Structure 1
């Protein structure tokens, strides 16, 4: 509901350090979007300090999960529902979701290009870890401290430092090729202006969730642990699709670009793990008149899609 979006904005307020996003116009067809439903808050406090694995060790893949057979997902009906809801909303959005346990997947405007804002921070850390892995090196204490600030608190100064350490656009671009990201364009210096798609964000999440990933188990668990322990004020987004008892790892991104006439970009990516499901979900939105509107959009679309995939 709209109240959740308003609450998320109120919690974040002006306390977060924001990075000025350079003017970028995302291209491609898009879907308009809407209001968040279920309230779910990732644990904070002591759990945040030590980092929650957020289902990093949960069984993956269709063979690993003993899940009762389900009828095929009615993607046509779900697409109609998403589009009908989208028609009532300002702004535009795209969504991609997959369930690693059942093999179900759904996308609507999943290849649309969106300004990444702070969801790019997951890509930055993943790329840096892959670079260190290739050199048989671990992150330094300083790099780990910066990584924690960047993911848990969405600190932009920490992201600036790690983006530079990873080789900026060219370094992350090389890492993205290794993990099959074909719709993500890192932006020079201003990482938040990078373009990406929901489909690519689910590919990135798959890199973090799959044992067959080019990134080793320690690196995968580390990133998901940070995503599973974001500060409470930033626990909105795809977590709206989670049910009680399920584990959530997420990263959100939000930035105003209305100075160029394009409103707010608000995005959320994450993993929702439960006894019968292991969802990877990415919802991106743009041209939202306010951040609150964007949060509502992301949360409602995530909940709508994941709820249908549970049946």
Structure 2
């Protein structure tokens, strides 16, 4: 029998489990008796996992992560295809700089019927790519007398009537709706959506963190992050969209509070991004633990990029 070697991306390596005469890697069942050594998974076989399975995976995994980090408060909302998963979306957070995406959408709605004013575009560019606060306040002053309440689904009504922003309260599912509004066809025309993608796709390297951790190799990410210090620690947020390899966009908002430092907050957000991506495909520690209870863990995946040999 020929030997089949399957190599997975290192950022998604998973423990290897034994199930009878087969191997299980990250939720994928590798059968030694398959013709030609082919690998079979529940989804590939046509059974498909349910939204309830994915939601359970997300809830269990985030619960476990939060319990491992006392003081951390976290919320997640993700949309992939026709499936939405939520965790902690009843908790409200100050927006900090993630509100700048809502402000961008408001500005594009106001200007998209004509050529975008160059000076205003420069403000919008600095607001998103560099998270420039002065540029944001200037743009907000322009919008204040013109933008309408409830114009952006899930939004906070930033810049409506005055030029204040960043301290309004939001939820993860609200921010996920803002992402969908920014990339969808209901509010913005094709040119405006292209502006959104251009700016969110070119944030400064020091701000390219967060939701991007959920992307596999070769998958494009557009994002806007927010961070600030509060009495109980750092709030650290990431809103973004991943162009998944399956052809569907992943809209993902991760909001956190109670972080000891900005760096620790970024680390938490990126771990939660990976946990969320795992939940969409039933991979990760919580799912593996439930399988391990019944089948037993054999060993960890090899350090360098996990290989499974069959046959």
The number of residue pairs the alignment matches comes to 235
Gap change, CA 1:266 and 1:38, over 3 Å in 2 = farther
Q: Secondary structure at the match of 2:68?
A: coil
Aligned residue for 1:98? 79
Which whole-Å deviations, capped at 9, do the CAs of 1:85-121 have from their partners, x for residues lacking one? 1111132111100103xx2221011232111111111
1:9 is matched with which residue?
A: none
Of residues 244, 247, 272 in structure 1, which corresponds to 2:242?
Answer: 272
One of 32, 56, 76 as aligned partner of 1:76: 56
* Whole-angstrom distance in 1 between the partners of 2:83 and 2:73: 24
Deviation at 1:38, TM superposition (A): 4.6
Contact 2:239 2:253 in 1 (8 A): yes
Task: Give runs of aligned pairs for residues 209-288 of structure 1, distance below 5 A.
Answer: 209-211=183-185, 213-257=186-230, 261-276=231-246, 277-288=248-259
Please, which of 130, 133, 140 is the counterpart of residue 153 of structure 1?
Answer: 130
**TM-score, normalised with respect to structure 1:** 0.70
Distance 1:130-1:297 versus aligned 2 partners, 3 A rule: same
Question: How far apart are the structure 2 equivalents of 1:202 and 1:171?
Answer: 24
1:152/1:264 Cα in 2 relative to 1: closer, same or farther (>3 Å)? same
Bigger fraction of residues in strand: 2
C-alpha distance in 2 between matches for 1:271 and 1:242: 9
Kindly indicate whether residue 87 of structure 2 is the aligned counterpart of residue 108 of structure 1. yes
2: distance between equivalents of 1:267 and 1:151?
14
For residues 57 and 279 of structure 2, the distance between their equivalents in structure 1, rounded to whole angstroms, comes to: 10
> Secondary structure at 1:160's aligned position in 2?
helix
Gaps of 5+ in 2: 1-9, 13-42, 283-311
Alignment equivalent of 1:123, drawn from 102, 108, 124: 102
**Could you list the per-position Cα deviations for residues 180-233 of structure 1 after superposition, in whole angstroms to 9, with x for gaps in the alignment?**
226x3537544121221111111111112223x222121122112100111111
SS of aligned partner of 1:94: strand
Task: Please state whether the residue corresponding to 1:192 is helix, strand or coil.
Answer: coil
Residue 77 of structure 2 aligns to a residue whose secondary structure is strand
Deviations 1:134-168 (A, max 9, x none): xx33321001111111111111111111111111x
Question: For 2:269 and 2:135, how far apart are their aligned partners in 1?
Answer: 26
Distance in 1 between residues matched to 2:181 and 2:214, nearest whole Å: 21
Query: Distance between the aligned counterparts of 2:137 and 2:151, measured in 1?
Result: 22
Which residue does the alignment assign to 2:269? Answer: 298
Match of 1:186 among 158, 162, 167: 158
Q: Could you say which residue in structure 1 is the equivalent of 2:180? A: 206
Decide whether the 8 Å contact of 2:140 with 2:164 is kept in 1: no
Provide the secondary structure at the position in 2 that maps to 1:193.
Answer: coil
Structure 1 residues without counterparts, runs of 5 or longer: 1-36, 40-66
Q: Is the 8 A contact 1:38 1:242 kept in 2?
A: no
Higher relative contact order (CA 8 A, sep 6+): 1
RMSD of equivalent CA atoms = 2.2
Q: Which residue of 2 aligns with 1:29?
A: none
| Runs of 4+ off more than 6 Å | none
